[in-house]
Structure 1
């Protein structure tokens, strides 16, 4: 199995749709299912045996830094951003801390429950650097709790992804977790940009792949959705966070 030793945890966003809650704290520190969403993400990273997590910060970054000050597993490296760099720009800025090998990237404001095998372990097992430059965890859009979009990707039997075209509905939504090669960002633009730019380049070479999540996945986008997610989890006969 490929060993992944570093994770990038994206925690710098403004969380505008989560206002007024994010007027007081950054979205990754909002509690869902008993603990902050950032802790859900970092607990998954630790459980996968990943040693180091680079956490980028911007909005109310001092609160995130204080929250993480005593955390030991995974080891936390902060990557503060004076200007918001978006997902791709944040990763590029953190490359010196992420090393030279493929790394995990995870959004700090998502929530999922694993199937029989943890999703991060499944991604690492499925990673094939000879064929792939990026491997995305994707979830069926129709089963994504709280999601009402048109989906992001189509996926062929080998896992190759293609974009939803304008006017189409695609069956899969990006679930916020992926494995990426660091060299993808070496010639990326300076400043703010989305990882969509990286994905678009890989789509041209057919090296963007997906893996279907086999557990539950929740889109936690607004204050109202927090109560809905908590209620959904409480209604599960024997839910766990694993």
Structure 2
């Protein structure tokens, strides 16, 4: 059964990783013996997503080599003409988008059933949230009755609910958007203010590869997962 479309944000600079990303986009860095993005693509296909789109920017030539097919799923690449940030990259690809779709951060592994992240009536964006400890590296969410009630700035918290880097969104959210825009700083606060941002707390192995220490840990985690 087709679960539809999944987008992957793979265009960032990865500056916190220093020389590791000087020539290689962060999502293409090797993790557990393969480019990290390949683990994400495999997971999407295994859960029924058959239309995959890589949203590329920095060092996009390496990403474009993936265009065509991935394990039986269609795979397309959208290249931003300049750095557009996360929401800008989605908006730039609007001609490729279904009415609703999954979005996955290209530097995050969150191992739950992605097909279970759905949009209820009156909700235009749904965040997969994860409880982590400590939560000092992340903004935290307050969730009640399936909706985001507050987005808190980073603080020295022992634990908290964070944005897990996997979302379901409606195409209409990006109508009229142009230029550099962020999901976290622009789109989600707008949806939250309108009462149209939902969240579901999911459980599963979680890590991002944004800093060298977590990149090394991701290798151990994914070797156990495969």
Q: Sort the TM-score into its range (normalised by shorter chain).
A: 0.7 to 0.9
The aligned counterpart of 2:101 is: 103
Structure 1 distance, partners of 2:153, 2:211, is: 27
Which consecutive aligned stretches of 4+ in structure 1 deviate over 6 angstroms post-superposition? none
Structure 2 distance, partners of 1:22, 1:218, is: 18
Q: Is the 8 A contact 1:11 1:108 kept in 2?
A: yes
1:109-162 superposed Cα distances (whole Å, 9 cap, x missing partner)? 112333xxx2x02213xx31x13111111111316xxx6425321111x12112
For the pair 1:159 / 2:159, whether they are aligned, the reply is no
Q: Is the 8 A contact 1:7 1:98 kept in 2?
A: no
Shift of 1:71: 3.0
After TM superposition, list the pairs within 5 Å mapping 1:39-58 onto structure 2.
Answer: 39-58=38-57
CA RMSD in angstroms comes to 2.4
Q: Unaligned stretches of 5+ in structure 1?
A: none
For the pair 1:75 / 2:66, whether they are aligned, the reply is no
The aligned counterpart of 1:20 is: 19
Q: Pick from 115, 139, 164: which aligns with 1:121? A: 115
The aligned counterpart of 2:137 is: 149
Which secondary structure does the structure 2 equivalent of 1:178 belong to? strand
Q: Unaligned stretches of 5+ in structure 2?
A: none
Q: Pick from 193, 199, 205: which aligns with 1:204? A: 193
Structure 2 distance, partners of 1:38, 1:13, is: 13
1:74-112 superposed Cα distances (whole Å, 9 cap, x missing partner)? 31111111201110111001111013x211111111123
Structure 1 distance, partners of 2:218, 2:70, is: 26
Q: Is the 8 A contact 1:4 1:104 kept in 2?
A: no
1:2-22 superposed Cα distances (whole Å, 9 cap, x missing partner)? x74112211111111112110
Size of the aligned set, in residue pairs, is 223
Q: TM-score, normalised by structure 2?
A: 0.88
Structure 2 distance, partners of 1:30, 1:53, is: 19
Which secondary structure does the structure 1 equivalent of 2:181 belong to? coil
The aligned counterpart of 1:138 is: 129
Shift of 1:47: 1.6
Q: TM-score, normalised by structure 1?
A: 0.83
The aligned counterpart of 2:179 is: 191
Structure 2 distance, partners of 1:103, 1:22, is: 28
Q: Is the 8 A contact 1:4 1:103 kept in 2?
A: no
